[in-house]
Amino acid sequence: MNAVIQIMSADARQYVCGDNGWFAIGPLDEVFGARACRGIDLEGVKIGLFRVDDEIHALDDICTHGAALLSDGEFEGHEIECPLHAGLVDVRTGRALSAPISRDTRRHETKIEGDVLFVRMQA
């Protein structure tokens, strides 16, 4: 029997897609609070948001190695450690940095207008 792993997001908020595919996520302080990373759901796609200094990076949140949310992992500098098997990903590039992760993680565009964060998903 195959086990079905379901990943639930703690964030049930609905984000609306605006002009040219950009989603308004919200003011940076509200989005992150005291955290440096968090996960959101954009039309069923789990997205991890990571703050590195003044830059915000957005990646697919589901680890390319298995069923875990990267944004639930340990985040230090520009590296996120997957909470399931401890593989590392560079949030600036999506590059897989260590085993068992071997495939890079898809990146998404971000921009900040005023203090509002926008994300545009890549195909």
The contact set with ligand FES (CB under 6 A) reads 63, 65-66, 68, 82, 84-85, 87, 100-101
Nearer to ligand FES, 99 or 111 (CB): 99
Burial class (CB within 10 angstroms; exposed 0-12, middle 13-18, buried 19+) of 24:
middle
Nearer to ligand FES, 58 or 101 (CB): 101
Nearest distance from C-beta of residue 8 to ligand FES, angstroms: 16
Nearest distance from C-beta of residue 74 to ligand FES, angstroms: 12
Nearest distance from C-beta of residue 21 to ligand FES, angstroms: 28
51 within 8 A of 32, measured Cβ to Cβ: yes
User: Tokens standing for 83?
Assistant: 């909470």
Nearer to ligand FES, 81 or 118 (CB): 81
Q: Which residue has the tokens 């990076």?
A: 57
User: Tokens standing for 54?
Assistant: 């003044």
68 within 8 A of 81, measured Cβ to Cβ: no
Nearer to ligand FES, 103 or 111 (CB): 103
